[in-house]
């Protein structure tokens, strides 16, 4: 019978004791360096994502070489646009007034206002941390967008009914050129059902142009953040982590007070379960990537797809009892190879007898990897999740630390996306939030009901919760 596992230390692991693998896809877009570049830079992530899809390469030299011709302090992009030959101006005063209009229309405190999603291509790069930003953009492209042309068109479509926006797009198109497709990091999708939800939601959202533009950044940011939170929670379940459904985590509303006894502050129901276990994420990723050298990845040119523990076992079990026993024996051999590779001093190597089930061997291998990996690398890799959520979906709550947080705009946006075009029972809305990883306790639910009543979007037919309906917002 053909071997199931194709991994061996001599062929696939580096000469030094550094936990790197070249061929398998990645699972998460983080690095082991101490950085905070994912915090507050999500608009730049989307800009990199846009160019990832359109294959544009920014050519900023035209702006860098531009002298301030009209007035000092104007944004250089506004200066560039104001130099258009598409509009005839009677004098320089008229052109300066046009420049001021462009500056007000496109920028606020030197930050571009995205009045059309095509403009994401032109936001630019970060002065620091561009590698981390690139990884996150590639992760979103791989996991959430894939080959979905409708979503890709968000960044490709130049159509607009607005004359000023049309002129802006025509002018700034001179600042990009199409680049050759560069190799990108590929990511395996552990949670395809979550991806389907994202695609269903965004396809509704994009139908409402102004609402979409106003909320797209927050919407995409949430899905990326929650996906990695779910990765931590599900991988900690080892072979029991199916990734079929989201594990709902409790959020607090931005404006409500939070006490220690609320679920959002609980060790196992809120962000703390993610924060406490995030240190293991890098180890899980290495273990699963190493196990991706297997018979199920037949098309090696397409890369080595990484499966969860649960999915890998499912594939193994499809080969019958003999296949399961064979896998256990090969997994034992890989554990021994890993021990010999990672413990260079033979006297330090563990000598205890290995268990006889795949589930237990997974746990043994993970424990060994955690022990041999650099602790600082593990910590920084896991801390990236916190950096991704800070200031948007995580809020400092005094001695309780960072808790999952939802502000008014996000709550209303997600409600609009979930309810879509028809009335929805309030209890169904709460279940739909849970499918997207968000749970509310009774205190938050009461606050939400009050808010919905104030916005006149709650139809209350009786005092029964089942008879409350949420009206469409859009």
Q: Averaged in consecutive runs of 10 residues, what is the pLDDT profile of the chain (474 residues)?
A: 89 88 94 88 94 88 69 80 89 90 89 93 83 95 95 95 95 87 86 97 95 96 98 98 97 96 97 98 98 87 87 96 96 96 90 95 98 96 96 96 98 98 95 98 97 93 72 95
Query: What was the pLDDT predicted at 22?
Result: 86
What is the Cα–Cα distance from 79 to 100, expressed in whole angstroms?
9
Query: What was the pLDDT predicted at 59?
Result: 82
Indicate the pairing of strand 111-112 with strand 107-108. antiparallel
Query: What was the pLDDT predicted at 68?
Result: 59
User: What b/e readout covers 65-81, taking b as 16+ CB neighbours within 10 angstroms?
Assistant: eeeeebeeebbebbbbb
What is the Cα–Cα distance from 323 to 320, expressed in whole angstroms?
5
Query: What was the pLDDT predicted at 70?
Result: 67
What is the Cα–Cα distance from 170 to 162, expressed in whole angstroms?
12
Query: What was the pLDDT predicted at 300?
Result: 64
DSSP code per residue over 118-172: GGGGGS---SS-HHHHHHHHHHHIIIIITT-HHHHHHHH----S-HHHHHHHHHH
Contact between 272 and 386 (Cβ < 8 Å): no
Contact between 12 and 290 (Cβ < 8 Å): yes
């Amino acid at each position: 019978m053909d071997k199931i596992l194709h991994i061996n230390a001599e062929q696939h692991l580096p000469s030094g004791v550094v936990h790197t693998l070249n061929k398998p896809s990645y699972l998460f877009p983080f690095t082991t360096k101490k950085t905070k570049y994912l915090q507050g830079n999500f608009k730049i992530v989307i800009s990199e994502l846009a160019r990832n899809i359109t294959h544009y390469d920014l050519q900023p030299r035209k702006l860098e070489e531009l002298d301030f011709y009209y007035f000092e302090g104007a944004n250089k992009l506004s200066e560039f646009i104001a130099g258009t030959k598409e509009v005839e101006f009677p004098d320089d005063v008229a052109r300066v007034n046009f420049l001021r209009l462009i500056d007000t229309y496109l920028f606020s405190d030197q930050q571009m206002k995205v009045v059309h999603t095509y403009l994401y291509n032109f936001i630019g790069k970060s002065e620091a941390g561009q590698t981390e930003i690139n990884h996150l953009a590639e992760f979103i492209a791989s996991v959430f967008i894939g080959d979905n042309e409708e979503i890709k068109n968000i960044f490709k479509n130049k159509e607009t009914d607005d004359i000023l926006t049309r002129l802006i797009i025509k002018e700034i198109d001179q600042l990009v050129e199409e680049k050759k497709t560069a190799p990108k990091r590929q990511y395996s999708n552990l949670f395809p059902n979550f991806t389907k939800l994202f695609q269903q939601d965004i396809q509704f959202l994009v139908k409402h142009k102004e609402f979409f533009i106003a909320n797209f950044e927050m919407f995409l940011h949430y899905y990326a953040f929650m996906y990695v939170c779910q990765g931590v929670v599900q991988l900690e379940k080892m072979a029991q982590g199916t990734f079929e459904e989201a594990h709902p985590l409790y959020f607090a509303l931005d404006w409500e007070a939070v006490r220690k006894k609320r679920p959002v502050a609980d060790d196992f129901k809120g962000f703390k379960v993610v924060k406490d276990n995030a240190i293991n994420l890098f180890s899980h990723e290495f273990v699963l990537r190493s196990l991706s050298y297997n018979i199920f990845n037949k098309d090696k040119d397409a890369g080595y797809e990484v499966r969860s523990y649960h999915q890998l076992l499912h594939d193994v079990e499809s080969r019958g009892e003999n296949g399961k026993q064979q896998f256990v024996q090969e997994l034992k051999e890989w554990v021994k190879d890993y021990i010999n590779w990672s413990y260079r001093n033979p006297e330090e190597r563990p000598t205890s007898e290995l268990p006889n089930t795949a589930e237990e061997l997974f746990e043994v291998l993970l424990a060994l990897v955690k022990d041999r990996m650099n602790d600082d690398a593990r910590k920084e890799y896991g801390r990236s999740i916190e950096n991704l959520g800070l200031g948007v979906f995580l809020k400092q709550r005094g001695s309780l630390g960072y808790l999952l947080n939802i502000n008014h705009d996000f709550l209303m946006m997600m409600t609009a996306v979930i309810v879509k075009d028809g009335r929805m029972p309030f209890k169904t809305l709460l279940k739909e939030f849970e499918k997207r990883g968000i749970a509310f306790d009774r205190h938050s639910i009461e606050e939400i009901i009050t808010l919905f009543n104030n916005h006149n979007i709650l139809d209350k037919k009786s005092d029964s919760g089942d008879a409350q309906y949420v009206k469409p917002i859009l």
